[in-house]
Amino acid sequence: MQQQTYRGYVVWGHAIAHQEGLLSPDRFAASGTVTRDNRFVEASGVLGIFDTEIEAQDVGISWALAWVDNHG
């Protein structure tokens, strides 16, 4: 999980382990969360499935930053 502070919010990028089948390599579902003053503000659904944990976290952070830009 990655986090950063942006315009008074704390934004999070999540990577959730996702395995499509027993013989498939692990992949990661991306999501993002926005908090402010230690309180939940908004969360995305699944933003996509990615090959690496870092990719998934980066997509979640990008979503959260865009949410703040549009709603914060």
Q: Encode the chain (72 residues) as per-residue pLDDT tens digits.
A: 999 999 999 999 999 987 766 556 689 999 999 999 999 999 999 999 999 999 999 999 999 999 999 998
Number of structural domains found in the chain? 1
* Confidence at residue 23, expressed as pLDDT on a 0 to 100 scale: 53
Contact 44, 32 (CB under 8 A): yes
* Confidence at residue 20, expressed as pLDDT on a 0 to 100 scale: 66
pTM surpassing 0.85?
yes
Q: Could you tell me the two tokens for 43?
A: 């969360």
Domain boundaries, position 39? 2-71
Q: Could you tell me the two tokens for 66?
A: 């865009």
- Supply the DSSP symbol for 6: E
